[in-house]
Amino acid sequence: MKNCPAVEEVMEKVLQELKKKIVEELDLKDINPNELAGDTPFFDGGLGLDSVDLMVLVALVDRDYGVEIFNRELGKKFSSLSPP
């Protein structure tokens, strides 16, 4: 779909919700979810998360959004909120 305002609005809402959940779930006290850019890396040079944090993120996405990530390689590509 090209430039569908309704879809873009829903996606932005989900992205903002996900940012808040990540900050809360990982207890990132120094991070304001409203200032977190979608392309901020989760790991090196970004939020500084580790492999345990990645497991928590994968579980969060599964639990709250029903998206199951089975493949270990896919989990490694889950490196920011931006699409790969």
pLDDT, tens digit, for every residue of 25-84?
999 999 999 989 988 998 888 899 998 998 898 899 999 999 887 776 665 677 888 876
pLDDT of 18 higher than 70 = yes
Q: What are phi and psi of 15, to 5 degrees?
A: -60, -45
Task: Compute the average pLDDT of residues 10-17.
Answer: 92
Confirm if 67 and 61 have CB atoms less than 8 A apart.
yes
| Rounded Cα–Cα distance for residues 22 and 48 (Å) | 13
